[in-house]
Structure 1
Amino acid sequence: MRFEVERKFLVADEGWQAGVTRRRRFTDGLIGQFETGNKVRVRLDEDRAWLTVKGERVGLGRPEFEYEIPRADAEAMLSLVCDTCFIEKTRHCVPHAGLLWEVDVYGGTLAGMILAEVELEHEAQAFEPPPWLGREVTGDPRFRQSALLRRFGEAGRVVTLEEVLAGPL
C-alpha cells in the first residue's frame, strides 16, 4: 500500500511551460465515491490502464492502491460505467528544486482548468514553491476531481475557474 501525500495549487502564470520534461494524456473516470471520501477510478493513458482505489483522507494524505488492467477493460468502463462523467487532461512534468511538479491542463468538460500538484514524502516536508505557483487549494473541496465533474454535470457545459471559485466550499 502506498500513502499519498499531495498538495494542490492554482497556477499563476505560464512560466511552468519552459520547464516541462514530459507530457502524458489521461482520461479518468469516476466509478464510485463514498461519503467517507473513499473513491474508485479508472485511468487510461497512451500506454496503459489501471484502477485506483483511494482511501479516506488523513491530514494531507490518503492510502492509495493501483492495479493495472487491460486497456479494453478500461475503455469499456469509461463508456459503460462512467457514462460521460470523465476527465481528460494532459499532465506536464516540471522538475523544480528537487521535486517533480505535475501541472494538469484539463480538456473536454473542464477545458481551461490548470492545476499543479506535488507529492511529498510527509506532510511536514518543506519545499520551494516555483515562481509560477498560485494559491494553494489542497483542502478546498471545490477542486477535487469528483466535485469538478459534478459541477460540470450541473452546468451541462464547460465550467470555468471563476465559476468554481465562486461556488460553495
Structure 2
Amino acid sequence: MAVEIEHKFLLISDEWRNLVSRSEVVRQGYLSNNPAASVRIRIANDQASLNIKGMTIGIHRPEYEYSIPWQDAVEMLNQLCARPLIEKTRHFLEFAGKTWEIDEFAGENLGLIVAELELTAISEYFQKPTWVGKEVSGIERYYNVSLLTYPYSQWTEAEKTEHADAA
C-alpha cells in the first residue's frame, strides 16, 4: 500500500524564502470527499494527477497518485470539482538533507502559508529549521480538503490570531 508520512508546520519567519530552489503553481479540486477518502485532481505547472488520500488525521495515511492527461485534468477542474478550487504556489527547498515544501495559498485561502515535510518512515529523524514553528499535522482545518469547505478567508479572527500566535 502507498503511504504518505507528512508533517505540516506553521512558519515563524520568511527566512525560508532565500532557500527556495524552485516553485510551481498548483490548482487542485476535489471530485469526492467522504469519511474514508478524498479524491482530487491536481495541475502543477504542466503535470496533472489524480490523487486518492485516506482521511486519517495525523502524519500517516494511505495515498495513491496517478498521472493523467493534462487536458483531462483541466476539464475535470472546470466541470466536475467542487468550489472553491485550492490555489497555491508550492516552493521547494532543501534543509539538512530533506526536501521541504512551502505552500503559499491564494484565492479563498490567501494569507495562509504552511511548510510540509514528507518522510519515508514514521520514526525518521529530521532537523527542524529555525523558520519552522508549531506543528499542525493533526489539526484538520489545515488540510487542503478542509480548506475547500472552510477556507482561510472564513476563519474567525480568533482562529487567524491563533494561527499567527502559534507561528
Runs of 5+ consecutive residues of structure 1 not aligned to the other structure: none
- SS of the equivalent of 2:137 reads coil
Counterpart position of 2:143: 144
The answer as to 2:42 corresponding to 1:27 is no
C-alpha distance after superposition, 1:110-138 (max 9, x if no partner): 11110000001111112110110011000
- Displacement of 1:162 in angstroms is 4.9
Give identity over the alignment, percent: 37
* TM, length-normalised to structure 1: 0.87
Does structure 2 conserve the Cα–Cα contact (< 8 Å) formed by 1:142 and 1:164?
A: no
- Does residue 2 (structure 1) correspond to residue 2 (structure 2)? The answer is yes
Q: Given that residues 4 and 118 in structure 2 are in contact (C-alpha distance below 8 angstroms), is that contact kept between their aligned partners in structure 1?
A: yes
State the shift of 1:48 in Å.
Answer: 1.4
2:153 is matched with: 158
Amino acid at match of 1:43: R
Q: Which runs of 5+ in 2 are unaligned?
A: 163-167
Q: How does 1:1-169 map to 2 (within 5 A)?
A: 1-36=1-36, 38-57=37-56, 60-152=59-151, 158-159=153-154, 162=157, 164-165=159-160
Deviation at 1:159, TM superposition (A): 4.0
Change in Cα spacing, 1:162 to 1:130, as seen in structure 2 (3 Å) is farther
What is the letter of the counterpart of residue 153 of structure 2? Answer: V
Root-mean-square deviation over aligned CA pairs: 2.1
Deviates more, 1:94-103 or 1:51-60: 51-60
- Structure-2-length-normalised TM-score: 0.88
Aligned residues: 162
Report the CA distance between 1:146 and its aligned residue. Answer: 1.7
